[in-house]
Amino acid sequence: MSDWAPKRFWKGTRADACDGGYTVYLDTRTVRTPAKAAFVVPSRALAEAIAVEWDAQTDKIDPSTMPMTRTANSAIDKVRLQHAEVADLLAAYGDSDLTCYRADTPAELVARQAEAWDPLLDWADKTFGARLEPRIGIMHAPQDPGALTRLGALVHDLDPFRLAAFHDLVSLSGSLIIALAVMHGRIDPETGWAISRIDENWQAELWGEDEEATEHAALKRQAFLDAALFFRLADQNS
């Protein structure tokens, strides 16, 4: 495998206003997306965070150290062009939401799930008029179509940048409800990630941790936190 990577060619990095929003300059040149589209983000705070990522690059550019840039690229090159499809994909999680599938034993796991997830289901019902019902086991049972429609509308209302970040919040947690709770500030991102891992953590307590699985979970946790930060920065007033 080749170890080629693009090299740093610029000295200074800055964020600044541009037509339609904010962009990042590398010396006098603006950043472009992988598809060569104009790199324009909706808030100064997000542009500044992205500028910090570019400024931190040394000899070779390492995209793995640039989560804000990667998500912005995805929003511009992909999500913007397939907004409805992405929103439909994420809204569909509500019909098989992690928070609705419960164990029947042992009692301690049942209690942990109920303590963490029941308040979020109650919150979604009270806040959005969308009641999702828990069920025992892993067999799929459809949720109320009206509730799913109301939750889906919230997803479709997101602009491409927030939707790109929301994609990671949902897909990494397996839960539309947890992602919405983080998005609306009902729970903080660390709590959101922790309560999405109740089942995995229970298994680790019983059988011990697997080193490879633990490392993979740590990467997913950081990606979840990065997505939450991106969402918050994109959502800030200019």
> What's the pLDDT tens digit per position in 80-131?
999 999 999 999 999 999 999 999 999 999 999 999 999 999 999 999 999 9
**Closest Cα partner for 232 from 107, 99, 68, 20?**
68
Structure tokens at 25: 């300059």
* pLDDT tens digits, 202-231: 999 888 888 888 899 999 999 999 999 999
- Any idea where the domains of the chain sit in the sequence? 13-63, 81-234
Can you give the pLDDT at residue 23? 97
Give the per-residue pLDDT at 238.
52
CA distance 138 to 117: 16
Is the domain defined by 13-63 classed in CATH 3.30.2180.10? yes
Q: Does residue 28 register a pLDDT over 70?
A: yes
CATH superfamily, with its number, for domain 81-234: ATP12 ATPase (1.10.3580.10)
* pLDDT beyond 50 at 9: yes
Kindly tell me the burial class for residue 27, based on how many C-beta atoms sit within 10 Å of its own C-beta (0-12, 13-18, 19 or more). Answer: exposed
Please give the model's pTM, rounded to 2 decimal places. Answer: 0.93
**Does pLDDT of 1 surpass 50?**
no
Return the number of other C-beta atoms located less than 10 Å from residue 92's C-beta: 15
Q: For strand 135-136 and strand 21-26, is the pairing parallel, antiparallel, or unpaired?
A: unpaired
